[in-house]
Structure 1
Amino acid sequence: MITRPNAKITFAAVFVILCWAYSPIGIHIGLQAYEPGHLALMRFLIASTFMAGVASVMRISLPRLKDLPLLALLGFFAVSLHHIALNYGQRGVSAGAASVLAQSTPLFSTLIAHFVLKDRVNGWQWICVLGGLIGAAVVVTADRGVGEMDPGGLLILLAALSWSVYFALQKHYSQRYDGLTMVCYTVWSGTVLLLVYTPGLWGAAQDAPASVNLAVLILGIFPSALAYLAWAYVLAHSNVSRASISLYLIPPTAMLMASVVLAEGPPGMVIVGTVIVLTSVLGLNLKPCKVAVSCDP
C-alpha cells in the first residue's frame, strides 16, 4: 500500500541523495591511493560483507540454480562493468561532472527500450534523449576546458549505459525475488567478478593513508549498501515517479559537496550542460509513457 509522504520517507530520500552524491567524491579520494580495479574491489568487499550481515538478519531466500547466470549478469552490469568504467573515468573527470554524467542513465534506458525491447518511443521522448545527449557532450567537453575533452567522460557514459542494461534486466526478472534479495545477490555476484583485481590489493590497502581508507569504507557501507536499502523503503512507501524525481538533486548536491571537500568549482559550461541533462531526464519522467527509467549513483 502506498502511503502519503511523511517524515520517515523524506528522511530516507534525503539520506539516499547524500549517500549517492558522496559517491563520486569518495571515488576521487580513493583514487589517490588505489588503482581503479583495486578501489572497485575494496569498495564491494566492504559492501558484500555488510549486506551479508543484513541478509543473515532478514533471512533472505537462497537463489534458484537456474537463476545463477542471470544473477552473474546483473552483477556484471550493475557492479563490475559499471564501477570499473566509473573509476577509470573519474581519473580525468571532476567529481561534480561525473555525478551529472551518471544521471544520463534514463537516456540510455529509453534507447534500450526502443532498440532492444521494441517499446514505442514518442517524439517528446526523442527530443528529451537528444537534448540529454547534447547536455552530456557539453559537460564532457567543458569539464577540463573547451577543447580539452578527457576520454574519461565517455567511460562514465559507458557506466551509465551499463546501469541502464542492469535496470532493464532487473525490471524484467524482478518478480522472481524481492528487492533486498535481488540487491544482495547482485552485489555478491558483482564482487566475485571483481576478484580478478585481488593481486596487490592488500599492499595497496596497507600503503593507503588512513583518510583514504576511511573514504573507501564510507563508499562501501553508505552508497553501496545502506542507500539501496533506504531507496527500497522510499519506493515501497511512495509514488515511484515522484520519488525518482528527487534523485535529480544528486548532481547539484555532489557539486556542492565537491566544492567543500575537494575545493572543486565547476566551470560555467559544465553548469549549463548540467541544466540541459537534468531538464531532459526530468522531461522523460514527467511525460506519461511506457518506458521505465531509472537513475544511479
Structure 2
Amino acid sequence: MNPSPDRRTELLAAGAAVVSVVLWASAFVSIRSAGAAYTPGALALGRLASGALALGAFCVVRRTGWPPRAAWPGILVSGVVWFGFYMVALNWAEQRVDAGTAALVVNVGPILIALLGNRLLGDPMPPRLLAGMAVSFAGAVTVGLSMSGDGGSSVLGVVVCLLAAVAYAVGVVAQKPALGSGSPLQVTAFGCLVGAVGCLPFAGQLAREVGEAPVSATLNMVYLGVFPTALAFTTWAYALARTTAGRMGATTYAVPALVVLMSWLLLGEVPGPVTLAGGLLCLAGVAVSRSRRRARAADVPARTGADGPPPPDGEARLPSGGRE
C-alpha cells in the first residue's frame, strides 16, 4: 500500500532532516582538522566560497532563477547572521572554549528557535515538543560536562558561543518565511552567497593561509563547504519548509550524540559511560519531540457532513501546504 501524499511528504522531510543532522555532526570532526591551519574568518570564507560554488553550479544545471522579491529579506538576514556571523563566531569560540562547553552553550539555540518561532511565526509549542527538548537539552548538558576540560574555557569564548547560538536561532526563524516564496535551493544558494560576501574582509587571510596549510586541512575546508554547507543546508531548508521551526531546531539535538559516535569511530576517542548516556538522552529527546499523539477512536468525530472540531493545539494534521 502506497503512503498518502501528505505522509510521503512527511517522510521525505524527515529524511532530509536526517541528512542535515548527520552532515552537521561530521562538520565538527572536519573543523578540528581545518581549524588547526586556518584562522576562524579564513575558514568561514573558504567554507562558504566552496559551498557557494557548488550551489551555483547546481543552480545553473537546474536553471534556477533569482529568488522572488518576497524571499529576499529572509535570505539576507539568514545569510548575514547564520551563514556568515554564526560560522565565524563558532570557529573563533571553539579555539577559546573546550568542546564540552561549546556543546553546552550552542545547544541553547534550539530552545531559542522554539521561543522565537512561537513569538514571531505563530508556531505551536505542543507538550511533546517541550518535553523532548527538555530531555535532549539534559543529554547535551551531560555530554558537555563529560567532555569539558579543566581550565580550557574563557569567559569571552563562552559569550561568543552564546552569540553564535542566538545567531543560529535568528537565522532559522528568518529563513522560514523566505521558504514560503522561494525554493529551498534558491534560499540556500543565495543565503550562502550573501554569507560569503559578508566574509570577504577575510580574503587576505585565506589567500595567505592556503599556501601554508597542509593539503588535508584544505580538503577538510572544501568538504565543509560542499557537504555540511551546500548539501546539508539545502536539505535543511527543504525540511524546514514542511514543518515548524521548533521541531526542526529540536532535531539538531541529535548532533551531540552523532559527534560522540563519529569521534569514536573516526578518531578513536572512546566515550565514557556518562558521555554515552548523554548521547542516548539526546536521541531520546529528539524522538519524543518529533512524535505525535495517536488519535483515539473517541477523539475522531463522526462524519456527518462537517469536518468536526479542530485537533488539539500543536497536534494539527499536516495540511496541503505542508506546514505543521
TM-score where L is the length of structure 1: 0.76
Q: Which residue of 2 aligns with 1:257?
A: 262
Larger RCO, structures 1/2 (Cα 8 Å, 6+ apart): 1
Where 1:175 maps in the other structure, the secondary structure is coil
**Within-5 A mapping of 1:161-240:** 161-230=166-235
Mapped partners of 1:40, 1:32: distance in 2: 13
Task: Name the aligned partner's letter for residue 218 of structure 2.
Answer: N
Are 1:32 and 2:50 counterparts?
A: no
Mapped partners of 1:104, 1:181: distance in 2: 28
Q: Give how far 1:145 is off.
A: 3.9
Tell me, yes or no, if the aligned pair for 1:28 and 1:90 is still in contact at 8 Å.
no
Task: Name the aligned partner's letter for residue 171 of structure 1.
Answer: K
Mapped partners of 1:116, 1:140: distance in 2: 30
Where 2:36 maps in the other structure, the secondary structure is coil
Q: Which residue of 1 aligns with 2:54?
A: 50
Go from structure 1 to structure 2 and tell me whether the alpha carbon gap of 1:284 and 1:106 turns closer, same or farther (over 3 Å shift): farther
C-alpha deviations, 1:38-93, integer Å up to 9, x for none? 11111111111111111111122224567655422110222112212221232233
Moved more, 45-54 or 224-233: 224-233
Q: Give how far 1:119 is off.
A: 5.9
Mapped partners of 1:255, 1:85: distance in 2: 22
Where 1:33 maps in the other structure, the secondary structure is coil
Mapped partners of 2:111, 2:160: distance in 1: 16
C-alpha deviations, 1:15-59, integer Å up to 9, x for none? 545422211111111111001111111111111111111111112
Q: Give how far 1:161 is off.
A: 3.1
Larger Rg: 2
Go from structure 1 to structure 2 and tell me whether the alpha carbon gap of 1:234 and 1:112 turns closer, same or farther (over 3 Å shift): closer
Task: Name the aligned partner's letter for residue 213 of structure 2.
Answer: A
Go from structure 1 to structure 2 and tell me whether the alpha carbon gap of 1:265 and 1:81 turns closer, same or farther (over 3 Å shift): farther
C-alpha deviations, 1:91-122, integer Å up to 9, x for none? 2333x886686565432212223455566646
Mapped partners of 1:118, 1:20: distance in 2: 27
Q: Give how far 1:125 is off.
A: 5.3
| Identical-pair percentage | 26
Mapped partners of 1:39, 1:26: distance in 2: 11
Mapped partners of 1:249, 1:235: distance in 2: 16
Tell me, yes or no, if the aligned pair for 1:41 and 1:194 is still in contact at 8 Å.
yes
Mapped partners of 1:47, 1:2: distance in 2: 31
Mapped partners of 2:254, 2:83: distance in 1: 23
C-alpha deviations, 1:193-225, integer Å up to 9, x for none? 111212221110110001111111111111111
**Within-5 A mapping of 1:73-222:** 73-91=77-95, 92-94=97-99, 105-116=109-120, 121=125, 132-145=136-149, 152=157, 155-222=160-227
Q: Which runs of 5+ in 1 are unaligned?
A: 293-297
Are 1:62 and 2:86 counterparts?
A: no
Tell me, yes or no, if the aligned pair for 1:48 and 1:188 is still in contact at 8 Å.
yes
- The structure where helix makes up a greater share of residues is 1
Moved more, 150-159 or 49-58: 150-159
Moved more, 277-286 or 211-220: 277-286
Q: Give how far 1:128 is off.
A: 5.1
Mapped partners of 2:88, 2:198: distance in 1: 11
Q: Give how far 1:252 is off.
A: 2.9
Mapped partners of 2:123, 2:226: distance in 1: 36
Tell me, yes or no, if the aligned pair for 1:110 and 1:291 is still in contact at 8 Å.
no
CA RMSD of aligned residues (A): 4.0
Mapped partners of 1:221, 1:62: distance in 2: 21
| Pairs aligned (count) | 287
Mapped partners of 2:161, 2:271: distance in 1: 17
Tell me, yes or no, if the aligned pair for 2:51 and 2:225 is still in contact at 8 Å.
yes
Q: 2:26 aligns with which of 22, 27, 30?
A: 22
Q: Which residue of 2 aligns with 1:295?
A: none
Mapped partners of 2:120, 2:20: distance in 1: 30
Mapped partners of 2:257, 2:140: distance in 1: 15
Go from structure 1 to structure 2 and tell me whether the alpha carbon gap of 1:153 and 1:28 turns closer, same or farther (over 3 Å shift): farther
